[in-house]
Structure formats: C-alpha cells, structure tokens
Amino acid sequence: MKDTGTPNYIAIEGPIGVGKSSLTLKLADHFGAQTIMEKMEENPFLSGFYKTPRQYAFQAQMFFLLSRHKQLLEANQVDLFQQKVVADYMLEKDKLFALINLDSEEFKLYNQMYELLLARLAKPDLIIFLSADTETLTRRIGKRGRNFEAEIAEKYIEEVNEAYHRWFFHYDAGPSLQVNTSGIDFVENEEDFIKLLEKISRPIKGREFFNPLGSM
C-alpha cells in the first residue's frame, strides 16, 4: 500500500456506539500516533442526564464543553508537523449535542462560550465520519455494557444519528470522509481495516463517501 501523505491530525467522529474509540486506538497503533480520547465517564452529570434529560442537560453540556476544550487545547501543544495525532472526537460535536438537548435560552449562553473556545483550537487535517443505522448503533451500545449508557432511549439514539448526518452534509471546514460501518468491523477484521488505510493514504478532497463491501 503506497502512502502518499496520510494526514497528521485525524479526528474520528460519529454517533454514540458507532466505534469511534476502537478505530482511534487501531489507527494510532498502526501509525505510532498520539491519541486524544474522550473521557465521557468523568462527566458527573451524564448518568442523571440519561435518566432525566431536562433536569441535567445544561450542566452535562457545559461540563463536556469545558473538559473537551481543555483536553484538545493541551493536545494542540504537540508539534503536528512532527507527530501524528488521532482523536476520537472534535469540539464541533459538542455544539451538535447542545442543539438537541438545550432550550433556546440555555443555548444562547452556551453558544457564546463555545464560539470563544472553538477559535483557539487547530483544525484536523481529516475527519473520518463513521455512520451506521440506528438499529446497529443500539445493538453496539448494548453489547459494550457501559453502566452510564443503560438509560439511553432508542429515540434519543435516532435523534443523535440524524443530527450527525445533517452536520456532516454541511461540514466544509476541511477534508472529510463518511464511512458506512453497518456491515464492517475495522477492529476484528483486518481486511476491513486495510481497505480504510488504503482510502486515507490518498488525498481526500472536500467531502467524500466510502462504502466498502461488508465482511460481516
């Protein structure tokens, strides 16, 4: 496989349960890259949000915004010309969830902070947007058995999934690749992973789509 210039800073995005963290670790191991891994379990409001969303939405969202920004800002101190970095999220995803979960007044306050923080961060060289149907996402979430995700309603998963697809179709801040993961497994099937490596080893221009033949 000829690598004509794999991006130095790759962000993996997609809805809950799509496999962002697993692919991040796999790519980082392959490239010898530094990882930026979201620490969702550290949010003290998350479990409460999944049980009673309106009561905890603003607290959970602001905690995520500040903690995600702090982590990404610290990672930006890395020389991205010398060290490859693979992240399992980008700050823009935070606003996507805020639009779903906050009321209009809460969102106005949130957005003022968000715009200030976003301006301080480096943009990824490539975004890999992992997609899957809601049924697949629900099955994967159940399979991994995280306690704080036990209360997630399938309706909420579907809403998040639809919001991610709308966001991807409007994203134009850099190269992005949408990968349909419903019938493939990058972690367990090496052939699937090699197909993705071949795809991202060549320049991605604008918004591209990748729908490899399923191995599952």
| Dihedrals phi, psi of 205, to nearest 5 degrees | -115, 120
The answer to whether residue 192 is catalytic is no
Residue in the structure block whose two tokens are 């800002």: 73
Per-residue DSSP letter, 43:
-
Among 88, 94, 125, 192, which one carries the catalytic annotation? 88
d(CA 116, CA 69): 10
d(CA 163, CA 170): 11
Sequence-distant (6+) residues with CB within 8 A of 57 are: 49, 101, 102, 106
- 85, 124 contact by CB (below 8 A): no
Sheet holding 207-210, edge to edge: 34-36, 85-87, 9-13, 126-131, 176-180, 207-210
Could you list the active site residues? 88
